[in-house]
Homo-oligomer: A and B are copies of this chain.
Amino acid sequence: MTAQQTGAVAGPVLVIGAGLIGTSIALALVRAGVEVHLRDVDPEQLATAIARGAGSAAPVDAPTLVAVAVPPRFAADVLAAASQEFPTSTITDVTSVKGPVLKRALARGADPARLVGGHPMAGREVSGAAGARKDLFDDRLWILTSTDETGVAHQGRARQLATTCGAVPVLMSAAEHDQAVALVSHTPQVLSSALAAQLLPAHEQSIAVAGQGLRDMTRIAASDSGLWVDILTQNAGPVSVVLTGVIHELQEVLHALQELANGDIDHDEIIDATLKAGAKGRSRIPGKHGNPDLDFAEVAVMVEDKPGELARLFVAAGEARINLEDVRIEHVLGRPSGLVELSVRPETAEPLVAALTARGFDVRGQA
């Protein structure tokens, strides 16, 4: 299978930056039969990537495309330098904020006709060339941001890069991208951190009362603060807009709560409105497979907390030929057992309950 036959991007492709994302792009391209060259300021990262089969460290004269996969704060400079070094190549990147990076790259001399911003929405559980995977982008979104000046051929080639890596390309303007991630990723990070910060001065006894809600709301507060300062700094404008909206909503609720605390009972309408708007907003988030119409049914099972019990549960589901779409284990304080919530397609909920009950499982409910 050659690159041409599969519709893969034509090589040679130069990947600058042999970290997790850059090396994964290289591996995905090699998988598709594309000629790949790699470059990195760190010879160890580069050697690791090459040893893993991610392409060649040899120089390349005229790559069709240069993919810049360096840390965000270096991206603009490297994009501009690559544009000048390779005057005919399509130039793209993988940075998680797009507007400021592209603007700075252009200000530093990148060719607007050949510049296409990119942001593959992919894994984060490992880092570095050693953690790279050829299938990291399979079926992931890969956002592409062009300007009016981007040439159609260059945009098409960046799109081919994404599809060759197995991803689903989505075209947006840089502003749309930055607003979208401000809404769905960056502002939630700020909220999670601000909430978790309230736990610092709290009595241990209060925190001991915490349930799954607080755990979920503060999970991303554990993220690397250095990386997030970079991201929030770069996307300061769009995050400010969303955060202003959140603060306004919270202030309305706060005002209503203060009036209620003072005995003015009429203010629960504002609280009700926020709660209802939240429930509606939440329902707009698409399901697991990007299909907002598909609601899964939930089956709750109480499972003993000992080796093999979860296995027994999943074997039972597998034997009944029922696919589990999601699994959620509730944490129960000090308790050697746990409530497991299984998400399944609605039509398989009853067969699942029957199968589990027949095998002696303690099925708690179905919603």
Which A residues are within 8 Å of any B CB, using their own CB?
A: 121, 123, 125-126, 131, 133, 135, 138-141, 143, 168, 170, 172, 176, 179-181, 183-185, 187-200, 202-211, 213-223, 225-226, 228-229, 232-233, 236-237, 239-240, 242-247, 249-251, 253-254, 257-258, 260-261, 265, 268, 271-272, 274-286, 288-290, 298, 300, 302, 305-315, 317-319, 321-324, 326-327, 329, 331-339, 341, 364-365, 367
Contacts and interface: CB of A to CB of B under 8 A. Distances in A.
Contacts of A206: 176, 179-180, 183-184
Contacts of A336: 139
Contacts of A216: 216-217, 219-220
B236 A261 contact: yes
Contact of A311 (B125, B225, B317): B317
The 4 closest A-B pairs by CB, nearest first: A193-B278, A139-B335, A199-B281, A308-B318
Given A213-B220, A333-B140, A172 B314 contact: no
Given A247-B251, A260-B233, A191 B195 contact: yes
A207 B141 CA distance: 12
Contact of A217 (B139, B188, B277): B188
Chain A binding surface, main DSSP class: helix
Contacts of A260: 233, 236
A229 B329 contact: no
A162 B311 CA distance: 33
A193 B225 contact: no
Given A131-B365, A199-B281, A246-B250, A323 B335 contact: no
Contacts of A254: 240, 243-244, 247
A191 B209 CA distance: 18
A356 to B, nearest CB: 13
A72 to B, nearest CB: 13
A228 to B, nearest CB: 5
A326 B331 contact: yes
Nearest to A286: B208
Contact of A198 (B168, B281, B290, B311): B281
A286 B117 CA distance: 42
A253 to B, nearest CB: 5
Contacts of A276: 225
A11 to B, nearest CB: 26
A305 B233 CA distance: 38
A322 B282 CA distance: 36
A197 B168 CA distance: 28
Contacts of A288: 331-332, 338
Tell which of A179, A288, A317, A337 has the most Cβ of chain B within 10 Å. Answer: A288
A333 B315 CA distance: 26
A9 to B, nearest CB: 21
A107 to B, nearest CB: 13
